[in-house]
Amino acid sequence: MLTLTPSTEALHVLCTGAHPDDIEIACGGTLLGPAERPATRFTSMVLTGTDLREQESTKALQRLAPGIETHFAHPVDGRLPSQWDETKDALERLAVNCRPDIVLAPRTDDAHRDHRLVGQLASTVWRDAVILHYEIPKWDGDMGAPNTFVGVSLEHAREGGSAQRLLPEPS
């Protein structure tokens, strides 16, 4: 199996999603490996979401990638293509100070138009990064033809399978 190994010790990973939970559901397992590298820095940008969903997303992302810097924009959910300027501007504002090595973004041919737009814009905003597009499992079976799979260690699978790492702390 081929591996993607960054050439520098420090690594900056940016995760983009249209909605709270896109990143967690679609590439949460992918984040666990780099999160074990001490020099990895994580940033996330989620385009839509209510205050409650943003809080849930932030907590989940912190458990997957401790120290992740989370950002949220507030275009109307389900309407990102009709808010193209606002969506692109939110990503461009982040890009001013966020120059990642790797960008994780939704597939550019995703059936959900919000996902598809974020995936398409990622490569226009972060032209000098490696961009990896992820699959967001959905009820309609919109599964593309992935050409890369990220393995998850047995230890990580057991952590995720038991959900202990992702469950909120008891209050």
Identify the bridge partners of residue 69 per DSSP, sorted by sequence position. 43
User: What are 105-114's pLDDT values in tens digits?
Assistant: 999 999 899 9
Backbone CA torsion sign across 121, 125, 127, 129: negative
- How would residue 160 be classed by pLDDT, with cut points 50, 70 and 90? low
Q: Where are the alpha helices (DSSP H) in the chain?
A: 22-35, 51-64, 84-95, 113-125, 154-162
Computed over every residue of the chain, the mean pLDDT equals 86
Superfamily of domain 11-162, CATH level 4: LmbE-like (3.40.50.10320)
The predicted model scores a pTM of 0.84
| Structure letter (DSSP) for residue 70 | E
* Those residues with Cβ within 8 angstroms of residue 120's Cβ, 6 or more apart along the chain or in another chain: 108
* Average pLDDT rounded to a whole number, residues 145-159: 74
User: What are 39-98's pLDDT values in tens digits?
Assistant: 899 999 999 999 999 999 999 999 999 999 999 999 888 899 999 999 999 999 999 999
Torsion, Cα 129 16 46 20, to 10 degrees, reads -160
- The whole-angstrom separation of Cα 2 and Cα 6 is 13
- The whole-angstrom separation of Cα 123 and Cα 155 is 33
Backbone CA torsion sign across 38, 151, 69, 97: positive
Task: Determine the residue type at 97.
Answer: N
Q: What is the pLDDT of residue 154?
A: 82
